[in-house]
Each structure stands twice: as C-alpha cells, then as structure tokens.
C-alpha cells in the first residue's frame, strides 16, 4: 500500500481528524447547573461588563480559527471550501500536537474578498487568533491587511509568513555554515506570489541589502512595465537596486542564495552551477521542488534544502505557526508584528550551535522538541517589549508551559 493509498484509508477511518472533548463533565444535576443554566449566567455577566474576561472564562484564551476559502490548496489549486476541509483539519491537528493550541477549521463557501473579511470579523469574538490558510494571491494580501486593521487579535496568513519565517531560519543557518553575511550576501527569490513576496519582505526587514525578486515577467525592478499587485509594487521599490533585467538564468549568475517558491524543476544544474562559490539553494515548491536536494548538491551547491521530509534541511511551516500563536495568545497579543516574525526566525536558527552545523543540518528538524517552546518564548518576549501584549508573562514561563502542553 502506498502512502497515498494509506492516507485515503486512514482519513476514512478517522472520519475527521479532530473532535470536541469536554473539559467540564456533567454527571449530576449540580454539574448541569454549574456548567450550564443557571450557573453559566455568572461568567456571561462578567464578560458583558469586561470583554477581556472572555480570556479568563472561555476557550478564547487558547483557540484559533483556521480560515480558508479553498482557492489555493497545496498544489491542487482552487478546489473549493469543502475539498479544503482535510487540509484545515490537518492544520488544526498540528496546532494542537506541536503547540498545544486548540484550532477550529472554518471553510468559507465564498471567494469574495469582502464576504470573507465580514465573515471572519463576525466570528472573531470567539477566538484568540485567526490563521488564514490557502487563500490565493493577491486577494490574500488584501484580506490579511484589512483584518489586521479591523481586529485586535493576531491575524497571520501562514502561507506567507510561516513559509518566510521557516525559510529565513534555514537561510541564516546556511549563511552561518558557509561563513557569509546576511547584509552583504546576494539573494534571488524566484516566485512573487504569497510566499515569495513574504520572503522578500522579511529579507529586507532582517537587513539584506542585495535582494532580487524574479517571476514570470523576469526580474522585478522599479518602473517595470508589468501588471503588479500592491505587494509586488512595493517590493519593486526596495529590491534590485541595480535594476538588473532578464530571466532567472541571467539573474542567478554569481548570487549567494537562491530561494524558490515557484514551479517544479526550474532550477537547472546550469543555473545552480553559475552561482557564487559556496552557494545556498532552497527549493520550496510543493509537492515537487524547483530542484531535488541531490541535484542541487551535485550541481555545486554547498547547502541545499527543500520542503520535503525525505531530504535533509527540510523547510517546514510546522516549526513556525504553532509556536508563533502559542506565544502570541499566551500574552494576549493584539497582533503579530514584523518584529515578532524576526524573533521567531532567530529563535529557530539559534537552536543549532555553531559546532553542530553541517551542510545537511542547518535548520532544526520539525520534530525537535525545542522548537515550539523557543519560538513561543521569543514571540511573547517581543510582544511584551513592543507593547503588543495585553498581559505580562515571563517568557521562560511561556517556554516551560509550552513544553508541558505538548509533552515534548
């Protein structure tokens, strides 16, 4: 039986990967009177007077909504809300298993931007955070931006920021291994969709000064005659300061780091061989990457990685979103900021000591038990330092509680 066949069989047996489990058990009339009417009126009255009390008396304190419209699901494309359910259920499982965070899959049967925004705003009171998932670009940019403006809880589009954080953690490890510097290294990001645009923006936030974005129209530069979305237009003003023009093959020559979030098999051996000495290649197209790990190394890359679990240096969002939300909701953060994302990058990358770095080990494994606690502590600390947190909690307490919650 292949893994695909086994997956279909197990999904049938599970009949849904998550379920509701009661924390309050009702075995007597007294139990019923306390958990439901009339006793339930007491916390209702408190919350009506003080909305912040919802964090104390309800599941809001540890629950996020995983929201999708099914328009950009994995490599399957626009398969709709119902067909997206297995992915959103899976995401909820990962939130719980890796971060101890309760998550509810919400698949909206609309792809209208305004309807999605209105729907999420209307359900938001029940949740401590909103994880947006598998919503196509460029609508995902507008939806996330508007929701961040309208809500006072964390809103995080994982396809953008989870991918960017996981990628940059791996990049930092690789740069440390080959003894190159973020500020002076030359970067090319191939693919200017949701993930690629977020990687480009995070590179700039982290001090990279030589970044070029490449898409179907070639290299992105200020003044390019192309139909750009709002985020691509911004990136055109802050990247490729030399106004280099041409195809990926042209732009990749002599660069230090090549990152792909684009299409299968587009990083040829010739392109990789044309890069600088001690080149770094991260091919993150899913499920088939721009190059295989083996082909990248054979072509001359000093360090390579993909999103696949069957190769070294896997770049996996599961190292990111459970810890990011764990830290954010533990301090009742009002948002997830750029500073919190950068903190998550360094929290992941710094788990590998200099002496332990190898060409095939520049980023922690998805099952490394230190990852989510480290990310949660770092995110909570920065949220408090920057005034985003509603409450103060010792970051080391956040770390310890995360370890306890996930049993890792």
Q: Is 55 a catalytic residue?
A: no
Give the separation between CA 61 and CA 315, rounded to whole angstroms: 29
Give the separation between CA 382 and CA 333, rounded to whole angstroms: 10
Per DSSP bridges, beta strands 102-107 and 63-68 are: parallel
Task: Give me the residues paired with residue 64 across strands.
Answer: 103, 129
* Active-site residue identified among 17, 91, 148, 180: 91
Burial class of residue 207, CB neighbours in 10 A (0-12, 13-18, 19+): exposed
Q: Is 148 a catalytic residue?
A: no
Radius of gyration (C-alpha) of the chain in whole angstroms: 22
CB 112 within 8 A of CB 59: no
Give the separation between CA 93 and CA 408, rounded to whole angstroms: 15
The closest alpha carbon to 161, from 205, 128, 194, 129, belongs to 194
Give the separation between CA 396 and CA 11, rounded to whole angstroms: 38
Strands in 129-132's sheet, in edge-to-edge order, are 102-107, 63-68, 129-132, 155-157
* Active-site residue identified among 9, 36, 245, 404: 36
CB 363 within 8 A of CB 308: no
Give the separation between CA 74 and CA 62, rounded to whole angstroms: 27
Give the separation between CA 20 and CA 89, rounded to whole angstroms: 13
Cβ partners under 8 Å of residue 267, min gap 6: 190, 258, 260, 281, 283, 290, 291, 296
| Catalytically active residues, by annotation | 36, 91
């Amino acid at each position: 039986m292949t893994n695909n066949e086994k997956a279909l069989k197990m999904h049938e047996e599970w009949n849904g990967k998550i379920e509701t489990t009661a924390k309050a058990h009702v075995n007597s009339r007294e139990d019923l009177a306390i958990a439901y009417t009339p006793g339930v009126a007491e916390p209702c009255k408190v919350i009506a007077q003080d909305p912040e009390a919802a964090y104390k008396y309800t599941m809001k304190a540890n629950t996020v909504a995983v929201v999708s419209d099914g328009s950009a699901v994995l490599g399957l494309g626009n398969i709709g809300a119902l067909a997206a359910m297995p992915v959103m259920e899976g995401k909820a499982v990962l939130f719980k298993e890796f971060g101890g965070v309760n998550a509810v899959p919400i698949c909206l049967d609309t792809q209208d931007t305004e309807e999605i925004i209105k729907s999420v705003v209307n359900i938001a009171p029940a949740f401590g955070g909103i994880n947006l998932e598998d919503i196509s670009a460029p609508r995902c940019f507008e939806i996330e931006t508007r929701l961040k403006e309208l809500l006072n809880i964390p809103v995080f589009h994982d396809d953008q920021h989870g991918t960017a954080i996981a990628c940059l953690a791996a990049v930092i490890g690789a740069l440390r291994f080959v003894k190159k510097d973020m500020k002076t290294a030359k970067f090319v990001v191939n693919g200017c969709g949701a993930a690629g645009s977020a990687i480009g923006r995070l590179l700039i936030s982290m001090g990279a000064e030589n970044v070029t974005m490449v898409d179907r129209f070639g290299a992105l530069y200020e003044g390019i005659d192309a139909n750009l979305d709002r985020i691509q237009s911004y990136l055109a003003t802050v990247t490729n300061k030399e106004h280099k023009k041409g195809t990926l093959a042209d732009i990749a020559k002599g660069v230090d780091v090549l990152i792909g979030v684009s299409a299968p098999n587009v990083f040829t051996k010739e392109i990789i061989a044309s890069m600088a000495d001690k080149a770094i290649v991260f091919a993150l197209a899913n499920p088939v990457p721009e190059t295989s790990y083996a082909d990248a190394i054979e072509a001359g890359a000093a360090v390579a990685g993909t999103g696949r679990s069957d190769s070294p240096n896997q770049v996996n969002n599961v190292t990111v979103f459970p810890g990011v939300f764990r830290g954010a909701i533990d301090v009742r953060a009002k948002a997830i900021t750029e500073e919190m994302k950068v903190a998550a990058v360094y929290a992941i990358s710094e788990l590998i000591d200099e002496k332990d770095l190898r060409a095939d080990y520049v980023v922690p494994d998805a099952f490394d038990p230190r990852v989510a606690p480290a990310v949660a502590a770092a995110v909570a600390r920065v949220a408090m330092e920057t005034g985003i947190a509603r409450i103060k909690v010792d970051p080391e307490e956040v770390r310890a509680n995360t370890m306890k919650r996930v049993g890792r």
